[in-house]
Amino acid sequence: MKKLLLVIVFIFQFVVVPYAHEQNDAELLNNDTGEVVQSLIDRLDEQNKKIDNQKKVINKLSLKLDSTLYHFFGNIITHNSNEIITKNNKYTLTKIYLPFNDYFNARIYPSRIY
Amino acid sequence: MIISMQGSTPVGYIEQSSEKIILATGGGGFYIIDKNDILNKRPKLLPLPTNFHEVISNRNFYSNNGAHSIKDILIKDGEILVSYTNEKYSDCYNLSIISAKINYTVLKLYNAFQFEECSNEKGTNPHEGGGRMVNYKEKQILLSVGSYGINKFPQDKNSIFGKIIAIDIDSGKYNIVSMGHRNPQGLNYDEEHDVILSTDHGPKGGDEININMDRLGNSTIENYGWPISSYGSHYDGQHRTDAPLYKSHIKYGFKEPIIEFTPSIAISEIIKFPGEDSKNDFLIGSLGFTDLEGRQSLHYLQFDKLYKTLLFKDVWFIGDRIRDLLSIDKKVVLMLLEGDHNVLPSIGILEFD
């Protein structure tokens, strides 16, 4: 009899209780999953909105960068000077080189940002 | 490294408002430069967005072919006018004008003026399209329209080709001021003396400067003779019955040029020499692919008060094709220089004390 009780206690302690805990955890887990997934979707939406905003910012910055590069080229653009000697006078001719190293780009560039 | 420069493609044209220089490239790029920065030799070239490519329907405009390009820009009454090669109908071309209210943030161009006539003749060549514009009386501008390479047009009073035309920009009404032009790439109106000066880019030789005087109340259409009379010759040296190119103009009833250049200097724009006085001093630009005498140079010409005689002439070698000229501040001349396959295009600044 004593042996039988020991077997029952053993089974209850090491099989039934852990199983019950396992079942309980699974139920809890099932209840949390919906919220977690919803939370993840919300966060994903938020991230997508942030990415869209970042794209807009990057686009604006890119356009500003284009302008700034030309601004920059305008400042560092190379030039040279030489004298024009005429019959009556001497004049200084300064050539400011334009950053049109490709006529085709010079032809199409500005319309791109309209 | 220059990648795809086409020598025949005009690098562009320059014009000024009170505080800015506007540069339009031959293919439709627009830029602004602060005038003070130019004078300080530190120009900042800023792109000016436009809807140009939405307005232009010419299919050939993007083929990197200078024939189909912007031909000039002009500011009049707060608007910027742009002349260009228009494909009026399929494979039928003429010179048209688009316009925009001056704005340094964006130019919203619209169709401002179009001729009904266009050329679909065999041999139509918009390289010989002229296209210069200058301010004229009241609401009018002068527009030079080239022959488009078709010999029958310049002597036909019913054709707009090979003419200089006064256009009222508000009403769109126009009248022919002079005829018998081949490719008038330079135009100037001397308001003080009421005189129109034009340059005509000849064939092989025969570049001309023509004077049209006494415009007040004068409805006579001056005729400069192309293609009946010219001091040039056809490139192939062949005779053409419809374009005999007689040397004398006056003998055949046409007006003689005040000066002609043979060999050609590849004549382009003409402007009044900057300064306060009212002397008839002018600067003429020249193009050309070689540095033969007179080409790639500024030509200083002084005429007498009645534009009957050339008093003084000087040639200043610049070393680049001069596409456009602009006088600013009464002591500075800007030149739009095309460079070549090894040299970038540039803005040449020439200062006079």
Write out pLDDT tens, residues A13-61: 776 666 666 666 666 566 677 788 888 899 998 998 888 778 767 756 6
Inspect the interface and report whether the beta carbons of A110 and B49 lie closer than 8 Å.
yes
Q: What is the mean pLDDT of chain A?
A: 69
Inspect the interface and report whether the beta carbons of B31 and A67 lie closer than 8 Å.
no
Domain with CATH 2.120.10.30 in chain B: 127-262
3-class DSSP state of A84: strand
Of residues B255 and B59, more confidence is placed in B255
Inspect the interface and report whether the beta carbons of B337 and A95 lie closer than 8 Å.
yes
pLDDT of residue B329: 82
Entry pTM: 0.81
Q: Which of A77, A87, A102 sits opposite B4 (nearest CB)?
A: A102
> Best-predicted range by mean pLDDT among B225-239, B282-296, B327-341?
B225-239
pLDDT of residue A16: 64
Of residues B209 and A86, more confidence is placed in B209
Residues B74-84, mean pLDDT to the nearest whole number: 97
User: Cα torsion for B117, B122, B125, B129, to the nearest 10°?
Assistant: -20
**Chain B residues with CB inside 8 Å of A110's CB?**
28-31, 47-50, 52
Residue of A nearest to B346 (CA): A97
Find where tokens 């000849």 sit: B202
pLDDT of residue B42: 78
Residues B192-211, mean pLDDT to the nearest whole number: 96
Inspect the interface and report whether the beta carbons of B4 and A98 lie closer than 8 Å.
no
pLDDT of residue A12: 66
pLDDT of residue B3: 29
pLDDT of residue A67: 52
pLDDT of residue B108: 95
- For B24-73, what is each residue's pLDDT tens digit? 988 888 999 999 988 888 788 888 889 988 898 887 876 656 788 899 99
CATH fold label, B127-262: Neuraminidase (2.120.10)
The residues with which B343 forms a beta bridge, in sequence order, are B340
pLDDT of residue A11: 74
Secondary structure of chain B in the HEC alphabet?
CCCCCCCCCCCEEEEECCCEEEEEECCCCEEEEEHHHHHCCCCCCEECCECHHHHCCCHHHHCCCCCCCEEEEEEECCEEEEEEEEEEECCEEEEEEEEEECCCCCECCEEEEECCCCECCCCCCHHHCEEEEEECCCCEEEEEECCCCCCCCCCCCCCCCCEEEEEECCCCCEEEEEECCCCCCEEEEECCCCEEEEEECCCECCEEEEEECCCCCCCCCEECCCCCECCCECCCCCCCCCCCCECCCHHHCCCCCCEEECCCCCEEEEEECCCCCCCEEEEEEECCCCCCCCCCEEEEEEECCCCCCEEEEEEEECCCCEEEEEEECCCEEEEEECCECCECCEEEEEECC
Over pLDDT 70: what percentage of chain B? 93
> Best-predicted range by mean pLDDT among A27-31, A93-97, B4-8, B260-264?
B260-264
Q: What is the mean pLDDT of chain B?
A: 91
Given a cut of 90, is residue A113 above it in pLDDT? no
Inspect the interface and report whether the beta carbons of A67 and B46 lie closer than 8 Å.
yes
Residues A6-14, mean pLDDT to the nearest whole number: 71
pLDDT of residue A73: 54
Inspect the interface and report whether the beta carbons of A97 and B62 lie closer than 8 Å.
no
Residues B172-192, mean pLDDT to the nearest whole number: 96
ipTM of predicted complex: 0.89
Q: Among the listed ranges A34-48, B162-176, B308-322, which one has the minimum average pLDDT value?
A: A34-48
Task: Work out how many CB contacts closer than 8 A connect A with B.
Answer: 140
Q: What CA–CA distance (Å, rounded) separates B232 from A9?
A: 123
Closest CA to B180 of B129, B125, B255, B246: B255
Residues B301-327, mean pLDDT to the nearest whole number: 94
Which of B8, B32, B40, B42 to substitute to test the interface with A, most A CBs within 10 Å? B42
**Chain B residues with CB inside 8 Å of A83's CB?**
none
Closest CA to B318 of B342, B302, B337: B337
Binding-site residues on chain A for chain B (CB distance < 8 A):
66-67, 70-71, 73-75, 77, 79, 84, 86-88, 91-104, 106-111, 113-114
pLDDT of residue A108: 45
Inspect the interface and report whether the beta carbons of A98 and B45 lie closer than 8 Å.
yes
Chain centroid, CA B300 distance in Å: 18
Q: How confident is the model at residue B332 (pLDDT cuts 50, 70, 90)?
A: very high
For residue A12, what is the DSSP state? I
**Chain A residues with CB inside 8 Å of B1's CB?**
101
